[in-house]
Amino acid sequence: MDFFNFHTHRFTNQPLILELVNQYPHEFDSTILFYSIGIHPWYIDENRIDYDLKIIEEKLQTKNCLAVGECGLDKRIEIPLEQQMKVFEKQLALAEKYQKPVVIHCVAAFQEVIAIKKKMKISVPMIVHGFSKNNQVAQQLIKEGFYISFGKYLLRNPDLKTVFQEVPIDKFFLETDTIDESIEQIYELASEYKNITIRELKDVIASNFRKVFER
């Protein structure tokens, strides 16, 4: 692995990049090498929840499935938060059972996600993907044991520079999510912001990968 793309919806199958590709249970693609699988809060279907959870549990028992997710909470959608929380908690229970890290989607619900982590006593790593908030939120998440992944908003929002600079070197990942830019471009900007070389950044990410995915 030369580069690690923590979260992407596009499988490019490049030899130097380990891509953690987001998969949905009802659209599973067996040609993807390494993936996370989960029920995204946007796509909760009451008629399919049990089926989706069954598929997730099956895949979590395979070596190519590296994580649960993306899953989480989103207060800006019409699906009731209570229902989202139930589905989220069921996936966290599976993550604990199979000792897999969790890719978190969180919109305007950080306090709820933190509270659920505490209530369920989640021991596996939880990583908030696509972070775009301020330093206060970032530091609270880190204090509560979360990792943070940066990508699109790091490229798009210059205000995130200082937030990213304050995140400890052992607590972050980088990702492309749905954007057209490459993971190499994100590494380049991240190395500039952290004032380290690309080689040093690769070593940092590789170390974080080992801690989270090779436990």
Question: Binning pLDDT at 50, 70 and 90, where does residue 209 land?
Answer: very high
* Across 19-23, average pLDDT: 98
Q: Are 132 and 161 within 8 A, CB to CB?
A: no
Please check if 159 is assigned to a binding site: no
Q: pLDDT for 92-145, tens place per residue?
A: 999 999 999 999 999 999 999 999 999 999 999 999 999 999 999 999 999 999
Helix 183-194 × helix 198-213 angle, to 10°: 110
Long-range contacts at 201-207 (CB < 8 A, ≥ 24 apart): 202/2, 202/3, 204/169, 204/170, 205/3, 205/4, 205/173, 205/174, 206/1, 206/4, 207/170
> Looking at the predicted structure, is the pLDDT value of residue 89 above 90?
yes
70 is in an annotated binding site: yes
Unique residue bearing structure tokens 């994100």: 186
pLDDT at 174: 98
State residue 73's pLDDT score. Answer: 98
CA 1 to chain centroid, in Å, comes to 18
Q: How far apart are CA 1 and CA 203, in angstroms?
A: 10
Q: What percent of the chain has pLDDT over 70?
A: 100
Delimit the domains of the chain by residue range: 3-213
Q: Check pLDDT > 80 for residue 160.
A: yes
Q: What is the pLDDT of residue 1?
A: 85
Tell whether residue 203 is among the known ligand binding residues: no
Share the mean pLDDT of the chain: 97
**Local confidence band at 32 (pLDDT 50, 70, 90 cut-offs):** very high
**Residue 40, marked binder:** no
pLDDT for 215 equals 77
CATH code that applies to domain 3-213: 3.20.20.140
Residue 7 has pLDDT above 80, yes or no: yes
Asked whether residue 81 carries a pLDDT value surpassing 90, the answer given is yes
Average pLDDT over residues 65-75: 98
Mean pLDDT of 16-31: 97
User: For position 65, what pLDDT does the model report?
Assistant: 98
